Structure formats: C-alpha cells, structure tokens
Structure 1
Amino acid sequence: MKRFVSFVFSLSLLVVACAPQIQPTVLPEVILPTATLPATEEPSVQPFAVDTPQGTPLPPEINAPIFESPSIINIEMLDEVFGWAMTEEKIIRTNDGGVTWYDVTPPGLTEAGYLAFTFFLDADHAWVQLPDMNRYPNGGTLYRTTDGGLTWEVFDTPFSGGSIHFVNESAGWTMADLGVGAGSMAVSIFKTADGGGTWERVYTNDPNIEGAGDTLPLGGIKNFILPLDADTAWVGGVTYAPGQTYLYRSGDGGKTWFNINLVLPEDSAESELSVVAIKFLSATEGFLALRKSSETPEILAYRTSDGGNTWEALDVEFNGYGILETPSASEMIFYAGDQFHVTNDAGVSVQQITPDIPFGNSVVDMSFANSQTGWVLFADASGARILYKTTDGGATWIQQSP
C-alpha cells in the first residue's frame, strides 16, 4: 500500500456535496452442479489441486462510467489488476490492470489532484482528504468510500492535510502538517477508530498548542507516518543536519516517541540523510530505505528482524536520486539514470534492467504490484503524462493511456 502525498495550499476551497447513494448491481447467484462419485468407490485424497481449463475469467464490471484516456497525475496499484489513480479533477479506478478506468469521483468534488492526501486500503476502501483554506491548518474535508467509489460519505476533519494511513477499515492515523519554516515542521498526530468519522489528537509538537510534547522534535521535515496497529507507528523524515537521521517510533498509540539510530557508512558524516520508505512484512520483519544526498547521491537499504529495535545495513546501494518503490519488505525497485534496479530478496541480489523505452529523467511517478509488474507515469516534452506498464521487471513497456 502506498499513499499519495501531494497538495498545494494556495489553491482555493473545494465545494463539497454529499454523495447520493448508488445501488450496486446485484448479480444472480449461479449454482454449479456437483460431481458425484460412484457409490462403490472411495474418493482419493489428492496431494495437489488439479487445474481444470476454464479460460481466463473476465474482471467484474464496475457500476460507474468509463473514463476515456485519462491524464493521470498519480497512481496506486494494489495488485496486478486493482488500482486507483487521480487526475487533476477526477478519482478513477481500474480492475483490469489499467486497461479500463472508471470515474468514481464523489459528486461535488470538482478539483483534487495535487491538493489531496489519499489512502487506498483495498479495492473497496479509500479515503481522500482535502484542506479547507478558511480554517487552515485546523479544518478540512474527508471523503470515504467502502464500496470502491460507488458511494462516498463526507466528514469534517480537525486538520487541513497531512500524511494519512489506515491499518484496517476502522483504525487510521494522520500526521497533520501545521506549518514548515527554517528546517522545522510542526505536526499533530490524530487517530480515528471509526473509519475517519471522528478524530482525536494524541500528540503535537507545536509549542503554540497546550500540552505540546518534544519527543518528536520540531526540527526536521517529517516525510510520512507509518502505523502498524493501534499502538505502534513510525515517523520518517530529514533533519538537514549532515550525518543525522530522523527516524522515530511510538509504542503507546502516538503519545510518546523514541529515536531509532541507524549505523551509517563512514562517508555519511557530511551527507544529508532522509528516511524515504519503511515496509514491514510482519511484526518483526521489515525494510527501510534511506536517501543519502551528496555529490554522489544514493539509496541505502536496511533490514530488521526484531520489529525495528535494530537495523542491519544491506550490501546494496542505488546511485542517483530517482524514484523508489517497495511493494513488500523483500522487493524494491529503484529507477534512476534510465535504469531499473530490481531486487526481490531484500537486496541479496540486484538486477539492473535497461527499459526498451528511454524514459530518461521524465518518470514522475511509478507503482509496482511486485518486482515484475509495474506502471510508470512518463512526462513528455509538452508536460502531458503517459501511463506505461511492464510485466517483466521493467525490460519492456506498453503504453496504456492516454
């Protein structure tokens, strides 16, 4: 799962209208005949399942209008077939790997794109949060769907925007941005237990708010929040101080935070370090990516087997700034310098792949379902964004839209 985290607070307030209820089509139940064994024979237990040729099933239709040739600005694929995306004005989704896109924009939402903070849990549950500039930074609007975008509910939020993440359909966290200045960033941590209907502030480091804490330092830019459950969450960021990392963990529901140290390469003392991604495969097994900015920028990878108490540096480095995708705790795809660097064993081995289309430095977003199947958004000379798909780890690509 991956969130879209982009907004421009200079844009005007969106007009929000409650979405009318649209009843999804109910398909009639199909009862298949059951094969009966002869009474004289004992059924044998097979050690493996035997496939019966039935052809490739068609994906279920979505009861929403098809959106032709979308100009996508962000994409989040959940697996090889289901995914969500955004244009500057629409929220769209696919159930056939990006071949067909359906318009599931909430009624009344006329502008989204770079304004929105989004989180897509699965094919049914999604959240879109937008700021109310008249109440910034203490007010916004949250759209929630539980049926794949066919219907939406609308809620007020006590924050205008920030990194949002749900661990299930009910429990979610938000790290709300309260303002950035001089290398510092004030935030408030909010939690919900009812799917976003109501939110409770559990922490803030803003000294202007009563009860502010200092365990999540004001200094440093916070890139993201990653909750694992109702109690445990991680915050990653960048301090802009050479040789220092911004990595914090909470184990009490966000009330207090503790710094987690990483063992850094000797040549990192003068480098700016930014935690750009964390993935956990289980409660104990996880993966972390650290961007090192210097004359020779690179991505450093770490792995944990004790829930993040300690992190082991992997013997893998990706040179350049580029774009990073981590579909799982063992898979990582890094694009830079017209090369895809792919690992599916947590960095034990890395394959360097040259795409058959020279994307150059014009890849603006990408989403991989796994180390083989992925999508990139390519910006052409006019600025238009074109969606391409690969099924072989980045070697060959086909254009999907527009």
Structure 2
Amino acid sequence: MLRTCLLVVTALIVAGCDGQPAASGGTRPTVTAPVGRSGAGAIPWLTGLRMVTPSIGWALAGRADGSGLSHPVRTTDAGAHWNAIALPPDLLSPNLVATDFHDADHAWIAVALGAESTASREAAVVVSTRDGGAHWSVTPRFDVDGMAMHIQFIDPTHGWVFAGPSAGGAIGSQDTTLYRTVDAGQHWQVSKPSSQVRGNTAIAGRLPEACPMGG
C-alpha cells in the first residue's frame, strides 16, 4: 500500500513539472471584461500574440461569431488569464488591423474606422498606450490607400504604417504604400509611394526591419 501511494505521488509531481499550465477539465484560458464591457468568459480566439516577458503578453481577441477583432487583451500570468482592455468608446465601427506590442507598457494599434472607409481607401487612426492599456491616446484620423497591414514604432514619436491593396481595389492592383510619422501620429507622410514599394522584396508584405520577435 505504501509503495502504491509513493508511486501515485511521484507521478503527480512529474506531471506538474512538464512546464505546461495546469488545466481543469479541458477549460480554455479566460478573459476578464474591463469596466463598462460585458461578455467575460472563454476567449473565442486570439491573434497577434506577443509575449514581452515570461509572464506579460498582449494579443487581440476575436469576436465569438468570427466577424473580426474586438479588443486587445493582456496577460500578467503567462497566459492563464487575460484581461480585456477597452479602447476609447468614440471610435466608429473599429476594426483592429495591425499591432505593435512593444513592451509591458507600450503598445500601438492601427484601427480602421469601418463607418468612414470606402472600398479603396481606409480611414484610420492609431491608438497608443504608455501604461499597459490603462489609458489610450488617439491620433487624428488619416486616410490610407488600400488597407493598413503593419505598424511599427521605434519610440513614442517615430512610426510607420505599411498599407497594402484592399479587396475593393481595382482588379490586378498591387499598390502598396509606406506612411511615416515623426510627431506621434499627428501627421503622416508618404515615405515610399506605391511605385517604389511595389515589387521590392525587401519590404513587400511587412515593414523594414520588422520581425515577430523584434523590439
């Protein structure tokens, strides 16, 4: 009997040391809704995941019906639980299209304003936080040819948005444009027009020097 108990205890210890978070009954990680937002429960799906420390990470949560991305989420316990982060409520029909989760405190998100966009041009803003999502700043609206696909900031004032062809563009159109700001998104300039970006394999599909593990 003693030998049997020792074997059971040993098996439990080994199972708890495999580096995987404990799960009960196959439950998925949960998301806690922020103040003013309902719908806490199991996360439908996540995208844009980036862990910036062994315990802190960011992602975007998808809507349960699969219709798009609803809000950013943040974890401080290696993904066991996620806190939903509310964006400014005055954004019109927001669609979160690109993210730069820089570190535990700083994040930038390109938001397409669906109610103000057309088939070939996207009305967008960039929202940013310096305190882990507790407060957000919103840039003035700017227009993007096509649709925003990637965003990268190297500090609070210097950033880039890479725009690619939209589904509503002309048939065969592959125009892409790189936008740049030097004043935290108050103004945007075309850094590389579509004629220079198109066909350039060094920047096609992503921002220069950007990579999933980049800082």
TM-score by length of 2: 0.62
Cα RMSD after superposing both structures: 3.9
Go from structure 1 to structure 2 and tell me whether the alpha carbon gap of 1:248 and 1:152 turns closer, same or farther (over 3 Å shift).
Answer: same
> Which structure carries more helix by proportion?
2
1:258, distance to aligned residue in structure 2 (A): 1.6
Residue in 1 that maps onto 2:109? 174
Equivalent position amino acid for 1:258 in 2: Q
Which of 146, 157, 160 pairs up with 2:87?
157
In the alignment, is the contact (CA less than 8 A) between 1:118 and 1:126 conserved in 2? no
Equivalent position amino acid for 2:136 in 1: W
Equivalent position amino acid for 1:173 in 2: W
1:253, distance to aligned residue in structure 2 (A): 1.1
Q: Distance in 2 between matches of 1:173 and 1:144?
A: 13
Go from structure 1 to structure 2 and tell me whether the alpha carbon gap of 1:124 and 1:187 turns closer, same or farther (over 3 Å shift).
Answer: same
In the alignment, is the contact (CA less than 8 A) between 1:117 and 1:164 conserved in 2? no
Structure 2 counterpart SS, 1:253: coil
Q: Distance in 1 between matches of 2:196 and 2:208?
A: 19
Structure 2 counterpart SS, 1:194: coil
In the alignment, is the contact (CA less than 8 A) between 2:180 and 2:190 conserved in 1? yes
Go from structure 1 to structure 2 and tell me whether the alpha carbon gap of 1:147 and 1:63 turns closer, same or farther (over 3 Å shift).
Answer: same
1:193, distance to aligned residue in structure 2 (A): 0.8
1:248, distance to aligned residue in structure 2 (A): 0.9
Go from structure 1 to structure 2 and tell me whether the alpha carbon gap of 1:151 and 1:229 turns closer, same or farther (over 3 Å shift).
Answer: same
Identity of aligned residues (%): 20
Matched, 1:257 2:188: yes
Query: Where do 1:78-93 residues align within 5 Å?
Result: 90=28
Matched, 1:61 2:19: yes
Go from structure 1 to structure 2 and tell me whether the alpha carbon gap of 1:275 and 1:178 turns closer, same or farther (over 3 Å shift).
Answer: farther
Equivalent position amino acid for 1:232 in 2: H
Equivalent position amino acid for 2:102 in 1: V
Size of the alignment, in residue pairs?
172
What are the ranges of 5 or more consecutive residues in structure 2 without an aligned counterpart?
A: 1-16, 33-39
Residue in 1 that maps onto 2:9? none
Residue in 2 that maps onto 1:145? 75
1:201, distance to aligned residue in structure 2 (A): 0.6
Query: Where do 1:144-293 residues align within 5 Å?
Result: 144-158=74-88, 159=91, 160-162=94-96, 163-179=98-114, 180-205=117-142, 217-239=143-165, 240=169, 244-261=175-192, 264=196, 275-280=204-209
Residue in 2 that maps onto 1:128? 59
Equivalent position amino acid for 2:154 in 1: L
In the alignment, is the contact (CA less than 8 A) between 2:47 and 2:62 conserved in 1? no
Q: Distance in 1 between matches of 2:129 and 2:87?
A: 11
